[in-house]
Copies of this chain bind each other. A is one copy, B any other.
Amino acid sequence: MTRSQIEYILALAKLESFGKAAKACFVTQSTLSAMVAKVEEQIGITLFNRKTRPVSLTPQGERVVKVLKSIYREYQVFDEVVNEIKGYDVGDLSIACIPTVAPYLYPLILNEMSRKHSEINFTIHELTTENIIEEIIAGDIDVGIVSIPLEHEELKEYDLYVEDFLLYDCGNTSKSSKFKVSDIDLERLWLMEEGHCMRNQVGKICELRQLKKINGNLTYNCGSIFTLIEMVKMNKGVTLLPRLALANNTQIQEHNIYNILAPVPSRKIGIVTHKNYVKKGMLSDLIQIIKDAVEGFLPKNTSEQAIFKPLR
């Protein structure tokens, strides 16, 4: 059982096609077919069902592939360690971030990351929490930036910062500048569309009182936070915006931003990786860069305020 054989099997399990897997592994289809067959023969277990279209894993194959993934991961660790010993700072790093954080966080950190690690190929994604979890487990993404805690079995979480929400009300008629969560007019509340954790966060904050209304005919689901802001602006609506959305942002009319009185709603943003992840050096560096980058934009001491767990 060689490392390449493991890679062939994992590629086949993922791509569900001998041809595609072969291409991905830079060998011919015949080689990959022969190698997979050879492993199956050696261990005496049929891993793939070739009669289905596309090719599928047998139940036994599922179990074996799971273990092979672990071996593969350890090999990756090995590569990392070798590179680290040799003082290299090379390889790939793919980062995914939820859409309500990405547009405000990425600009703050990407330049510094790419400058500090000029030999690393960074790949940036903007995905929902759900997709980030999937991709991390599949091994396609190294680190995710999401609202924590997720408390997922296969993942490991690292704190980044606590971000408070501000009230963005473009139809405020009262002269008061002090608002409580309970003052929010649910009739004019706008939310991100389903699948975005901020929908759940904001939904939860305003919840409890009358959750049904949120899905009522007055709410429109926005696919991006920019759209959300625009919709609120145009319709004299109201929503909660995370603090970082305010930084360096010309889209938002500042006079429509209101602080919320305690308990200030907030969310905790953190990094998640696979529990066996090991680009430790890179990870701790990334964490530090993010912490430094957001420091000036966030109020102090928000850490112990109400924190909402995303539902998805």
- Chain A, interface size: which category? 20 to 34
The verdict on A179 contacting chain B, using a C-beta distance below 8 Å, is: no
The verdict on A60 contacting chain B, using a C-beta distance below 8 Å, is: yes
Beta-carbon contact of B67 and A71 below 8 Å = no
Q: A3-B2, A71-B71 are in contact. Are A64 and B86 (CB under 8 A)?
A: no
The verdict on A297 contacting chain B, using a C-beta distance below 8 Å, is: no
Determine the chain B residues whose CB is within 8 A of the CB of A3 once the complex forms. 1-2
In this complex, what residue of B is CB-closest to A86? B44
Beta-carbon contact of B81 and A64 below 8 Å = yes
The verdict on A68 contacting chain B, using a C-beta distance below 8 Å, is: yes
8 Å CB contacts to B: which residues of A199-230?
none
Determine the chain B residues whose CB is within 8 A of the CB of A60 once the complex forms. 85
Determine the chain B residues whose CB is within 8 A of the CB of A78 once the complex forms. 1, 64, 67-68, 71
Determine the chain B residues whose CB is within 8 A of the CB of A71 once the complex forms. 71, 74-75, 78
User: Chain B CB within 10 Å — which of A63, A67, A75 has the most?
Assistant: A67
Beta-carbon contact of B75 and A1 below 8 Å = yes
Q: How far is the CA of A74 from the CA of B64 in the complex (A)?
A: 12
User: Chain B CB within 10 Å — which of A63, A73, A82 has the most?
Assistant: A82
8 Å CB contacts to B: which residues of A44-97?
44-45, 60, 63-64, 67-68, 70-71, 73-75, 77-78, 81-82, 85-86
Listed A/B pairs (16) with beta-carbon separation below 8 Å: A1-B75, A1-B78, A2-B2, A2-B3, A44-B82, A44-B86, A45-B86, A64-B78, A64-B81, A67-B77, A67-B78, A68-B78, A70-B77, A71-B71, A71-B74, A73-B74
Known contacts A63-B85, A64-B85; 12 further A-B pairs (Cβ under 8 A): A1-B75, A43-B82, A44-B82, A45-B86, A63-B81, A64-B82, A67-B77, A67-B78, A71-B74, A71-B75, A71-B78, A73-B74
